[in-house]
Structure formats: C-alpha cells, structure tokens
A and B are shown apart, each in its own frame.
Chain A
Amino acid sequence: AQSVTQPDIHITVSEGASLELRCNYSYGATPYLFWYVQSPGQGLQLLLKYFSGDTLVQGIKGFEAEFKRSQSSFNLRKPSVHWSDAAEYFCAVGGNFGNEKLTFGTGTRLTIIP
C-alpha cells in the first residue's frame, strides 16, 4: 500500500528566508507525486506535480520540488518565502490501475514571521 510521510508538523521561517518541506513516500512503482496547499478556510490548491521526466519540477507561486528516487523523497522548496505563503502544505502520492486513490501526508503547517 502506498503511504506518505511528512516528518515536520510545523515549521516557522522568517519572511525572505528559504524554505524546504520534506516528503517521503512509499510506493512499489514509479509514483505520481503532488504538492497541495491549503489556506485557512479554503480547499486545497495544486502547487505542482511529478509523473516522469525531469526530476526538478516547477510549480506556481515560485515553488519547486525535486524527486529523488533513491531517497523516496519529493521535497518542496522556495528560495524566498512571503507572508502570504503561510498555510498548510500536503504531499500526496497517486496509485496505479486498481488503486487510483490519492494518499495524502498529514501536512506541514508553515508559519511566517516578519
């Protein structure tokens, strides 16, 4: 069965600082990987996704993520955070035929301090 681990429950960074959110997955084949963001009182919005090809993927709002098969990781990065990036971030893995559901990690809450 597929699974996703986000080891950091809560991260606090200063505005303008760089950010890295960790995500580790477990899946037997090549995974479909996603990062979603949830702002308070809102649904989730897709930041980026990885299916195959270039292991460094660019997303919206200046985010990028790198797929590392050897480490089973798909970490999210941003070189300089803005106060508006404060939100909860979810990593997710999609299964293959017969197990198509998306499995989400438990999320990382990001707080930005001035």
Chain B
Amino acid sequence: KAGVTQTPRYLIKTRGQQVTLSCSPISGHRSVSWYQQTPGQGLQFLFEYFSETQRNKGNFPGRFSGRQFSNSRSEMNVSTLELGDSALYLCASSWGGRLAQNEQFFGPGTRLTVL
C-alpha cells in the first residue's frame, strides 16, 4: 500500500501571498489531519477532516483552512502568509473512527518558507 503523499515537498512564498498544500491519504483511509511543526512550538494540530467534513479543529486563525474531497484527498490553504507561518506542514491519515484513538500515518511533510 502506498503511504501518505504530500505535494509539494518544498515551497517558498513571500509575505501576503497564499498557498495551497495537498495531501493524498493511504487508500481506504477516510480521516485526514493536518499539523504544523516548528522548532519552537513543536507539533500543533490544525484540523481534521472526515468524510469531507471538518470534524476537529485546533487553535489556529481563520487564515488556515482546509477541505477534503470525495476521494479523501485533502488540501490545506493558508492566506495572507506571515513570516511565522514558516514551518513543516504534516498531513496524517487514519481509517476513521475516533481521532484520538487511532494510529495516524504521517506523510513526509511540506516545508514552507515565507520570506
């Protein structure tokens, strides 16, 4: 089975721009979660999508949004980029059920640099 894939792997943007990151989960997985990883804050939960609906949400501003398609693929969008948005963005998928109980399978991440 192919693992979780994320595209692009690296991205450089400037302040004020917007960016869209993509995640393809493991086949059969219906839950996709997004995390922001930075050296100072560690891993922080952004949101989770299940069956095209946002099911859980972290404490990030509205500039961070996401969506999930019928094939479970997910996109994350960040508008009006700030320097502090520079981070590794990780996507994780699981089969479904309760997010807090299930093993999540992580992709390699997208490294976003905001200049």
Listed in ascending order, the chain A residues whose CB lies under 8 Å from chain B are: 32, 36, 41-46, 49, 51, 90, 92, 94-96, 100-107
Contact A95 B108 (CB under 8 A): no
CB distance from A98 to the nearest CB of B (A): 9
Name A106's closest neighbour in chain B (CB-CB). B42
* Alpha-carbon gap, A40 to B101, bound state (A): 26
A100 CB contact (under 8 Å) in B44, B98, B105: B98
Enumerate B8-46 residues with CB–CB distance to A below 8 Å. 33, 35, 41-45
Cross-interface CB contact of A105 among B42, B99, B108, cutoff 8 Å: B42
A100 near B48: Cβ-Cβ < 8 Å: yes
- A43–B110 Cα gap in the complex (Å)? 10
A16 to B16: give the CA distance in the assembly, Å: 50
Q: Are A41 and B108 in contact (CB under 8 A)?
A: yes
Q: How many A-B residue pairs have CB under 8 A?
A: 59
Measured between beta carbons, the chain B residues less than 8 angstroms from A103 are: 45
Give me 30 A-to-B residue pairs in the complex whose CB atoms sit less than 8 angstroms apart, sorted by A's number.
A32-B101, A36-B106, A41-B108, A42-B108, A43-B90, A43-B105, A43-B109, A44-B90, A44-B92, A46-B103, A46-B105, A90-B43, A92-B43, A94-B99, A94-B100, A94-B101, A96-B100, A100-B48, A100-B55, A100-B56, A100-B98, A101-B56, A102-B33, A102-B45, A102-B99, A102-B104, A104-B35, A104-B43, A104-B44, A105-B42
Q: Give the distance in Å from the alpha carbon of A51 to the alpha carbon of B103 in the complex.
A: 12
* Interface of B toward A, CB cutoff 8 Å: 4, 33, 35, 41-45, 48, 55-56, 58, 90, 92, 98-101, 103-109
Report yes or no: A44 in contact with B103, Cβ–Cβ below 8 A: no
Q: Which of A43, A94, A101, A106 contacts B108 (CB 8 A)?
A: A43
